[in-house]
């Protein structure tokens, strides 16, 4: 079954404690991206990756890092989380092609930073 898998699904943590949200896809997609969803703001792109070792900033990259060492994985790293990063996060993937826009989303990770 085609899947984008995020872990953890829920996390409550404290300010400054480094955390990583993992994202893995089993469809051999080149393109992967991270979004955050906040009430009244829709989804905003954090980072995206066109392929292994190729990443670029989206609209709201401040406070986040990503890496793409393998095609299937695209972890999101919060080096020093702050309360304004409390949000619902989605990973997405798609094959390269028309528009490259995400076709498959994970089920989301709800982060609470206290």
Partner 1 sequence: AQSVTQPDIHITVSEGASLELRCNYSYGATPYLFWYVQSPGQGLQLLLKYFSGDTLVQGIKGFEAEFKRSQSSFNLRKPSVHWSDAAEYFCAVGHTGTASKLTFGTGTRLQVTL
Which residue ranges make up the site for partner 1 (CB under 8 A)?
4, 31, 33, 35, 40-45, 48, 50, 56, 58-59, 90, 92, 98-103, 105-108
- CA 101 to centroid of chain Cα atoms: 14
Q: How far is the CB of 107 from partner 1 (least distance, A)?
A: 5
Beta strands 54-57; 42-51: pairing state: antiparallel
Reference 30, options 49, 11, 15, 55; nearest CA is 49
CA distance 114 to 68: 28
CA distance 30 to 74: 11
Question: Which residue, 48 or 78, has its beta carbon nearer to partner 1?
Answer: 48
Place of tokens 């990583």: 20
Q: How far is the CB of 53 from partner 1 (least distance, A)?
A: 16
Question: Which residue, 79 or 107, has its beta carbon nearer to partner 1?
Answer: 107
Question: Which residue, 17 or 57, has its beta carbon nearer to partner 1?
Answer: 57
Q: How far is the CB of 111 from partner 1 (least distance, A)?
A: 15
Triad 85, 60, 22: Cα angle to 5°: 60
Question: Which residue, 83 or 95, has its beta carbon nearer to partner 1?
Answer: 95
């Amino acid at each position: 079954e085609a899947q984008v898998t995020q872990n953890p699904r829920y996390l409550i943590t404290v300010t400054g404690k480094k955390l990583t949200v993992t994202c893995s896809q089993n469809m051999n997609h080149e393109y992967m991206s991270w979004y955050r969803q906040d009430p009244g703001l829709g989804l905003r792109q954090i980072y995206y990756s066109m392929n292994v070792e190729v990443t670029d900033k989206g609209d709201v990259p401040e406070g986040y890092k990503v890496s793409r060492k393998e095609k299937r994985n695209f972890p999101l790293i919060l080096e020093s989380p702050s309360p304004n990063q409390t949000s619902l996060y989605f990973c997405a993937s798609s094959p390269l092609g028309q528009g490259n826009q995400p076709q498959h989303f994970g089920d989301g990770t709800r982060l609470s930073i206290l």
